[in-house]
Amino acid sequence: MAKILCVLFDDPVPGYPPEYPRDEIPTISDYPDGQKAPTPNAIDFTPGQLLGSVSGELGLRKFLEGAGHELVVTSDKDGTDSEFEKHLVDADVVISQPFWPAYLTAERIEKAKNLKLAITAGIGSDHVDLEGAMKNGITVAEVTYCNSISVAEHVVMMILGLVRNYIPSHQIVTDGGWNIADAVSREYDLEGMQVGTVAAGRIGLAVLRRLAPFDVGLHYTDRHRLPKEVEEELNLTFHETPQEMVPQCDVVTINAPLHPETEHLFDDEMIASMKRGTYLINTARGKICDRDAIVRGLESGQLAGYAGDVWFPQPAPQDHPWRTMPHEGMTPHTSGASLSAQTRYAAGTREILECFFDEKPIRDEYLIVDGGELAGTGAHSYSEGDATKGSEEAAEFKR
């Protein structure tokens, strides 16, 4: 019997939904690059339900308890007195989501003597000390591509929201006003602007494809250059480095994984190199940006707007300056947590567990760390190191 410790976000404030706005969601069987969507042997949930909160349990309880395993589900993840910390000491498997990450620091890994597998129910495993996982023989896996398109849609929404000044305009209506001049004094057209993505993997490329019809100039930088035919199809301009690309852009979107090479990439120096009035969108990881440099950029006018779906740590403390800085379009890491995406990442989590318990290979594209080294997608996208330092501040949210 194995002990599975699953950390999920809290249920809705009014309670777990008795019904949903829609009766069904589209079935996605293949992703744009041909990769198959998750294919577990079975699922014990209805697609489109809320699965990522505590009561949803990722639809895993019947499957795991039916096989004789113990499942512990909690949202209490931060601090030495948390439920996560208490159960980690004898857990064999830890499951966490990027939206409400259970930070597996080096200190926590040392306490978890039985831990063999850390699963990210979603995409992005930077909340795990990957170096520590390698040293301790822990396999790290995530459900690659499950919510990439979800995030790409969110990016396009945020770009339009900032450029068209949507949030303040909507607030005027909510407040009972009709202040057209106030609304349009910061509103522009996206058409004709130069838009660049830092990283053009599954999410970044999906963003580029969705922006092409807007008649914008498209730029990208990535450690892996896209095929020539893709560049020609989308009329892309490639840049060797982010430092080379960002001065050319009116809009910059960050779609890179967090690792030591990207940590605090957007600092004062990088922001100063951008055009005055650039819009910056970050649905990747909060720590890719220097927290206070973003605030300074907005207050000085160097940045016209910042829309972010990611913070560090998560949840962000109540006094986090991104909650109150000017010209922001922040969301609480919802871009990849749509009910549509939850169906896929819950199914993918079960697929990984089925492989683990049956001692079958986990899909290569799901692997981040295996056999003491970066593997699969991890070897392609990450570099060795630890990006969890400072995560203990997440406990400040409760206080």
The residues carrying an active-site annotation are 147, 285, 314, 333
Which residue has 């620091």 as its token pair? 105
Q: Do 347 and 43 form a contact (C-beta atoms < 8 A)?
A: yes
Structure tokens at 90: 């004898």
- Beta strand pairing call for 278-282 and 236-239: unpaired
Question: Which pair of structure tokens corresponds to residue 299?
Answer: 């207050």
Q: Are 121 and 359 in contact (CB under 8 A)?
A: no
Cα dist from 6 to 66, 77, 107, whole Å: 17, 10, 19
Q: DSSP for 17-29, please give it.
A: -SS-S-S------
Tokens, residue 385: 């190191």
376 φψ region: left (φ > 0), alpha (ψ -120 to 50), beta (else): left
Report the length, in residues, of the chain.
Answer: 399
Are the CB atoms for 279 and 195 separated by under 8 Å?
no
Beta strand 367-370 pairing with 139-142? antiparallel
Pairwise CA distance, residues 305 & 297, whole Å: 9
DSSP state of 100: B
List the Cα angle 388/391/396 in 5-degree steps.
Answer: 175
Beta strands 3-7 and 194-198, pairing class: unpaired
Phi, psi (5° rounding) for residue 362?
Answer: -75, 140
